[in-house]
Structure 1
Amino acid sequence: MKLLTLNCHSWQEENQLEKISILAHDIAEKSYDVIALQEVSQLIESETMSGFVKKDNFALVLLDELERLGITGYRLVWDFAHIGYDVFEEGVAILTKHDIVEEHRFFISKSHDQSYWKTRKIVGATISYNGRPLTFYSCHLGWWQDEEEPFKFQVDSLMEQITAESPAFLMGDFNNNAHVRGEGYDYLLSKGLFDTYDLAGKRDEGVTVEGEIAGWDENKVDLRIDLVLASEKFEVTSSKVIFNGENKPVVSDHYGVEVVIEGLSI
């Protein structure tokens, strides 16, 4: 099974359509089973296409680009968490080429006010993979030091709401550096989660953010904040950073993470 997670920084990038094309070509090449995307935005004023997904929804534009490449069959689960930059509905998404048994949408922040930029929402999809149910969540959490929206509260809320009926994968931007001890990353692992990076037979340095980005305005160090966590141990072949300028061109202010997992067949 091949997984990809990426904070897209959508519609904030220069040459955005070119970068969507780079992402689409990689998906066409790798044929990921599940893709988790964060900062998946659409203009508030855009035309609604289906449900509450609008014409310029980043994930919908990506699917259109995939279709131009002859790739069809990916299913989309999306919801918006909060208003971004006054003009966007910013959310999270799951794309999968497998049948979706159940969709999941829930808040994990204290705030449920979608006009407030710190409001956080999760989307998930339970899929049937080789006859086995597996659940994947696209996660975009807050910061360890935030007193208004404590990271611990968000993690506790997340863990209370994930389905216990199938193995779960939590994929996304957790906004807590895995290189720092005693803070958010260790708190995640204290919940019984396993980092696929640690389980991987092959892995690189894992750095997904370099320098200053939104939310890390004074950052001077390399960060590993984009993660693929699992509710149980799996045989992980590899964990690699992608879209970092070495493994594919840069497409966002975050790099992506691609994970290959074996041993999921029944």
Structure 2
Amino acid sequence: MSDESMDKIKLIYVSNVFGRSKKTVQQTLAFFMTIENVGYDKAVEIIWAGEDGVWQTLPVLFHSSAGENQEYWYVQAHFKRTIKRPLPGNIEFAVRYRVAGQEFWDNNHGFNYSSQADSGVQLLTDAPVLNIEFAGGFQEGQKFIPVTVAVRQSLGQGQVYIHWSTDRWKHSQKTACHFKSMFWDKTTQSNARNPNQYDIAIWKGWIRAGQCFRLEYAVSFETEHQIIWDNNHGRNYVLSHDPLKILILNLHCYQEDNQDYKLSQIARAIDDVKADIVCLQEVAEPWNDGMGDWENNSAKIINERLPEPFHIYTDWAHLGFDKYREGVAILSRFPFIKQDARYVSDSHDAYSIHSRKVVMGQFNIPLIGLVNVYSAHLSWLEDGFETQFNRLNDWAQHNHNSRIKATLLCGDFNIVAGSSGYDLVVNSNAYEDQYLEATAHGVFEKVFRVNDPYWHDYMADDYRIDYIFMNKASELKVTSGRTVFTDKDYGFVSDHCGYYMTFEPK
């Protein structure tokens, strides 16, 4: 194995365990590893052979993020003994990682790895204590979280503990694990030994987390003289429910070539990224003497092309491009608790492009609570932005109370990042730019935290006019942000890019 391969892929442990019941014997093989996230389209495989000498390929699956540019991958395979099919027994194996036209191996420097039948867990790192078999996330309705810890018996006598928190360590608890010579294997539904062929003892514990959004924990092995930790290289182990996922996009009011194809691309992206709420601007339908044409409303068409259509609320503000009713919309995976629409502009004239309307929706997000979302398309600064934003702000502030976990102003604000219009939002001291927080935290700190007088200089090359502004009183935090609908993903579908961001409780 080359040094380059070692950097790209590394086995952490292999497990080779027999489960025995009255009816049969089952062998379970498990492999856990880290890989460098070199590219999106990748394949990881275990190349292995049992005692029959026949080489086979076992695909490995993504498990969870392992930190910056690193991922955990995992696979488990079960084999039942039959008259015609013996168990694999002792195995020999290596790992192959293929990505971006390259191939990397972890094959024990050319000698392959081996694992003896029913030998238990074999650590392939020098870690003295290791959390193994951990889940990448919560299962639906799960309240008890199993924790399995491998400890090198050469450490001597001691006790394993789980240190855990559901509120980012504002409060924490400590739960003891137990060592048993036999344990019940839920996967195989049979008894399994706690083998120690590789100097490894297995400890089991359970976290009674209840209904929480996020669980964070580390494990320790404590003896009379020392405490040895596994805290996932300083990151701790984290289980979390899916974050709130929001996508914003200006649709360009039916002005695109290949418009029908692009509407399908938008629906495809919404489904691919598993968006929960979509805020759309320049939503259009034929004018039809001011009566509109709902069947050809662009937001409705996008929604109907989703595998499972969302709840939808839309309203129009003015005549666009001399032939469309132009407005804004919200699509939501969650039902609307409340919905509303109102003009924020001085003009309410349907024939004036300076007539601007905003729609809002209130949603009860599972394990998060009530969230208010506004889909807005405001005018340029010289055409009334300040008045419109102030009205929107007053409306949103009026609707924000102690029951609301977050207020999000989403859409096309027609103010360039770092401009005087953006300055107005910043100086309101009520809202913060969530894309900037997610992608340029250092700049975000200068703009929103320390009020660096030169913060405009840091945004000189930022030409966004589409934003998610979140109320500072909100109890959510942005966890990721990226640009979509570019030549790198779904292609350009509008004269705007889209922005996709995720949120979870602070």
With structure 1 as the length reference, what TM-score do the two structures score? Answer: 0.83
Flag structure 1 segments of 5+ consecutive residues without an equivalent: 206-220
User: How many Å separate the matches in 2 of 1:46 and 1:171?
Assistant: 30
User: How many Å separate the matches in 2 of 1:201 and 1:56?
Assistant: 36
Whose strand proportion is higher, 1 or 2?
A: 2
76 and 46 in structure 1: CA distance in 2 versus 1, 3 angstrom threshold: farther
Q: Does 1:174 align with 2:413?
A: yes
Tell whether the 8 Å contact from 2:409 to 2:468 is kept in structure 1 after alignment: yes
Tell whether the 8 Å contact from 1:7 to 1:256 is kept in structure 2 after alignment: yes
- Which residue of the partner structure matches residue 241 of structure 1? 483
The equivalent position to 1:128 in structure 2, one of 343, 364, 377, is 364
122 and 47 in structure 1: CA distance in 2 versus 1, 3 angstrom threshold: closer
Q: How far off is 1:81 after superposition?
A: 0.8
Q: Does 1:26 align with 2:269?
A: yes
After superposing on structure 2, the runs of 4+ consecutive aligned residues of structure 1 that deviate more than 6 Å are none
Q: Does 1:138 align with 2:378?
A: no
- Which residue of the partner structure matches residue 333 of structure 2? 97
User: How many Å separate the matches in 2 of 1:263 and 1:186?
Assistant: 27
User: How many Å separate the matches in 1 of 2:280 and 2:363?
Assistant: 17
Structure index of larger Rg: 2
Tell whether the 8 Å contact from 1:80 to 1:121 is kept in structure 2 after alignment: yes
The equivalent position to 1:159 in structure 2, one of 393, 397, 404, is 393
User: How many Å separate the matches in 1 of 2:439 and 2:388?
Assistant: 31
Q: How far off is 1:71 after superposition?
A: 2.2
Q: Does 1:195 align with 2:429?
A: no
C-alpha offsets along residues 150-203 of structure 1, whole Å, 9 cap, x if unaligned?
Answer: 2111111111112123221011001000133xx111111222101112321678
Alignment map for 1:63-102 (pairs within 5 Å): 63-66=303-306, 70-72=307-309, 74-102=310-338
User: How many Å separate the matches in 2 of 1:236 and 1:64?
Assistant: 29
256 and 136 in structure 1: CA distance in 2 versus 1, 3 angstrom threshold: same
Q: What SS does the corresponding residue of 2:296 show, helix, strand or coil?
A: coil
Q: Does 1:16 align with 2:255?
A: no
AA matched with 1:157: R
C-alpha offsets along residues 81-123 of structure 1, whole Å, 9 cap, x if unaligned?
Answer: 1011221100000000102100010110010111211100000
Question: Identity rate of aligned residues, in percent?
Answer: 31
AA matched with 2:315: D
Flag structure 2 segments of 5+ consecutive residues without an equivalent: 1-243, 444-460
Tell whether the 8 Å contact from 1:8 to 1:254 is kept in structure 2 after alignment: yes
Q: What SS does the corresponding residue of 1:145 show, helix, strand or coil?
A: helix
How many aligned positions are there?
A: 236
18 and 152 in structure 1: CA distance in 2 versus 1, 3 angstrom threshold: same
User: How many Å separate the matches in 2 of 1:196 and 1:42?
Assistant: 31
User: How many Å separate the matches in 1 of 2:470 and 2:287?
Assistant: 34
C-alpha offsets along residues 223-250 of structure 1, whole Å, 9 cap, x if unaligned?
Answer: 2111011012532111111112123311
Q: How far off is 1:263 after superposition?
A: 1.9
User: How many Å separate the matches in 1 of 2:345 and 2:293?
Assistant: 22
User: How many Å separate the matches in 2 of 1:223 and 1:60?
Assistant: 30
